[in-house]
Amino acid sequence: MQRLVCKLLSLCLLPLALPAEPVAVADAGLKRPNIIFILTDDFGYGDLGVLFQNGRKQANNRSQPWELTPKLDQFAAEGAQLRSHYCAAPVCAPSRASILLGVSQGHANVRDNQFDKALENNHNLATVLKQAGYATVAVGKWGLQGNDPGQTNPATWPAFPTKRGFDSFFGYARHEDGHEHYPKEAPYSEEKIPKQTWDGTNNITPSLDKCYTADLWTAWAKQWIVNHERTHADQPFFMYLAYDTPHAVQELPTQEYPAGGGLAGGLQWLGISGHMINTASGKPDSWVYPEYRNATYAANAATPEVSWPDVYKRYATATRRIDDAVGDIQKLLQDLHIDNDTLVVFTSDNGPSIESYIPNEPLEANFFESFGPFDGIKRDCLEGGIRMATLVRWPGHVPAGLIINRPSISYDWLGTFAEVAGVPAPARTDGVSLLPELTGQGIQRDRGYVYVEYYNNGKTPDYVDFTPGNRGRRRNQMQAIRIGDYVGLRYDIKSPDNPFEIYQVTIDPKEKDNLASKMPGLEKKMETLVRQVRRPDSGAPRPYDRQLVPASTPGAVVSGVEWKTYEGTFPWVPEFEILKSAAAGTASRPDLGKMISHHDGGVFFNGYLKIPQDGDYTFYLTADTGALLRVHDATVIDADYGYSGGKEVSGSMRLQAGLHPFRLYYAHRNSVTPLLNIFWSGPGLPKGTISSNTFWLPSQANQ
């Protein structure tokens, strides 16, 4: 099972420049792990035993019923808990887009409630890992395929998974299909269109009698892993395993989870029409875990105990079924002797839902307090809507029992998996690799903030569990940004000048005590930062889209820019900050000069742009291979994935007069003549070369 990095790079890649301080897995002679990314649908932070439910059980307050996740608790004990991990948006489509693309909602092309919109054709988890030599497979819910959801032909969908870097796909392509957990029978389906389950481009729903989707995805995923290890054991794989449970319909499986797990037990793929998996028997929507079947609770100490309402038996069964599935997959990895060679991430797309399609069976998230110690649910930018139950297991590499409280976010996974694979992350990613903190090797970078934005015209539930100020709270336009221990929050944003509320969530997880009046400096910093880290999107307009991006105050500056050169062949424009440079210096402006010749390599320029007056500025860029321009942390020009050398690309930004930090990334390969031109236009400035007196950098005394 040896997967030597040097062998794979020579077989599958152009020679790449590796990180300046690579962790052990990127060193030649050591294995690159398989990666399994398990994404659940509406699984709340508080649904996980080790994070919350076990405490309810230990308290044994009969008015506070609990659910169980024993396999995930064991998973957590053997790996890491990321207790301050966030989603990029509190609903599935934009959240999943940010995960896959590795960018925040300030840059993702899918925002708000744009279900079934085509995922941008750009770098993503699958394309990066495929380029790094991984086999890539997506299983389960997709919902980012593009075109009308009523369409039935994947050939018409521009962003079908196999058109976005995945070698194989098995699952639901359309968003609405994921609201039903029996593809063929669909007993509670609200949608009128027939469900479609794709095995590649073949709709196999007619053969899926009695197939509960959590079982179906698990059985197929297990069989794919077995087949891969039998035929391509020397190639690492990346599996994106996206469950559509426990979301929405609250259906039950057909029977008890098969005993044993792993290679010989648990769920098994049979591949026989009408009996595709070994639980495709019995009665659909019928089986409840024994612990919940006769469970009772008391509304309060003065009332007798009564049976749980049926919908909560269903919800607890759905979460427990995922728990069993994760344990089953883990046992398979052990049986195949690849457990130590496989990094597994377990997380969710957003907070818990209150959706139920069962007639006369409303679902409330406060029965189990699925939002955990927080306020808010799915579609809220309160902590309960965006704080995710997240676990990582990789025996021998991630220490058992590790607890990480430093804030992180779902768009960090692209950079993390790139580092695992031994390749630099694309420059466009907004995240940072979490691998140093997970493994204790290398230096953990910190972007300094995590950022969320979203729009929903509903309200936060009016739960007595919630802080009075959060009950029934009108959402509309929302933003959240976390810096260190503090979260800045804006709800129902009417004006770009609406101030942030500030909460120290490490001691005030329910966001009760607004500290904004006591911390005007931090409030101003948050207002400034959220204007510097994002770009407007016409499909998701915001009240603050036309705000001027504030200038920075770096202190003393001198004329010029900093530059660094890098040697190697890059498959994309890389995030040069994580690489070791070959040479460095200063220049009057970004100009390749003799920095790079016909050999492969790259150049990174950074400094400040001195903007002469407030207004809209457009930047124009032309390169031979690829380049990317950021102003502050906003990506203004992305001339990388699919870029045609020599083509001019432009981007605009509304800038305040003053100094604005920029980063310009340039990659060169294929022995063509090096080319990098950058121009601009703005108020009173016709399109032309950016003069040298526009570029500044901190003086030596200020560094």
**Does 393 share its domain with 524?**
no
HSE at residue 437, side-chain half, CA atoms within 13 A, is 19
**Does 210 share its domain with 169?**
yes
**Does 243 share its domain with 189?**
yes
Residue 412 domain flag: yes
**Domain residue limits at 498:** 451-532
Q: What is the CATH number of the domain that holds 262?
A: 3.40.720.10
Residue 216 has pLDDT above 80, yes or no: yes
Boundary-marking domain end, from 446, 478, 510: 446
Cβ neighbourhood burial of 547 (10 Å; 0-12, 13-18, 19+): middle
The C-alpha torsion from 267 through 421 and 426 to 147, rounded to 10°, is: -20
Q: Binning pLDDT at 50, 70 and 90, where does residue 703 land?
A: low
Number of domains observed in the structure of the chain: 3
Q: Are 471 and 462 in contact (CB under 8 A)?
A: yes
pLDDT digits (tens, 9 = 90+) for 138-180: 999 999 999 877 788 898 999 999 999 999 999 999 999 999 9
**Does 432 share its domain with 455?**
no
Closest CA to 395 of 442, 444, 347, 337: 337
Closest CA to 19 of 470, 578, 656, 678: 578
Boundary-marking domain end, from 446, 477, 512: 446
pLDDT digits (tens, 9 = 90+) for 264-278: 999 999 999 999 999
pLDDT at 326: 98
pLDDT at 17: 37
**Does 409 share its domain with 514?**
no
Residue 538 domain flag: no
Residue 111 has pLDDT above 60, yes or no: yes
pLDDT at 30: 53
Residue 562 domain flag: yes
pLDDT at 25: 37
Q: What is the CATH number of the domain that holds 507?
A: 3.30.1120
Residue 597 domain flag: yes
Q: Are 365 and 354 in contact (CB under 8 A)?
A: yes
**Does 481 share its domain with 338?**
no
pLDDT at 127: 98
| Separation between Cα atoms, residue 615 and residue 241, nearest integer Å | 45
Mean pLDDT of the chain: 93
Q: What is the CATH number of the domain that holds 611?
A: 3.90.182.10
Cβ neighbourhood burial of 521 (10 Å; 0-12, 13-18, 19+): exposed
**Quick one: tokens of 68?**
């169980």
Report helix, strand and coil shares of the chain as percent, to nearest 5. Answer: 25, 25, 50
User: What is the torsional sign of CA 694, 698, 701, 702?
Assistant: positive
**Does 275 share its domain with 329?**
yes
| Confidence (pTM) | 0.95
Radius of gyration of the chain from its Cα atoms, rounded to whole angstroms: 26
User: Which residues, 6 or more positions from 15, have their beta carbon under 8 angstroms from its beta carbon?
Assistant: 9, 568, 569
Boundary-marking domain end, from 430, 446, 462: 446
Residue 544 domain flag: no
Residue 541 domain flag: no
Q: Are 85 and 408 in contact (CB under 8 A)?
A: yes
**Does 350 share its domain with 324?**
yes
pLDDT digits (tens, 9 = 90+) for 483-493: 999 999 999 99
Q: Are 594 and 569 in contact (CB under 8 A)?
A: no
Residue 20, phi then psi, degrees to nearest 5: -60, -40
**Does 176 share its domain with 91?**
yes
Residue 23 has pLDDT above 50, yes or no: no
Residue 698 has pLDDT above 80, yes or no: yes
Percentage of the chain lying above the pLDDT 90 cut: 88
Q: Return the higher-pLDDT residue of 311 and 669.
A: 311
User: Residues of 572-600 as b/e, b for ≥16 C-beta within 10 angstroms?
Assistant: bbbbbbbbebeeeeebebbbbeebbeeeb
**Does 381 share its domain with 489?**
no
Q: Return the higher-pLDDT residue of 284 and 598.
A: 284
**Does 272 share its domain with 409?**
yes
Residue 675 has pLDDT above 80, yes or no: yes
Mean pLDDT calculated for residue range 319-334: 98
Residue 258 has pLDDT above 70, yes or no: yes
Q: Binning pLDDT at 50, 70 and 90, where does residue 40 land?
A: very high
Mean pLDDT calculated for residue range 2-21: 35
Strands, E, within 13-160: which ranges? 34-41, 80-82, 85-86, 135-141
**Does 624 share its domain with 605?**
yes
Residue 511 domain flag: yes
Mean pLDDT calculated for residue range 193-214: 96
Residue 99 has pLDDT above 50, yes or no: yes
Quick count: other Cβ atoms within 10 Å of Cβ 698? Answer: 17
Residue 508 domain flag: yes
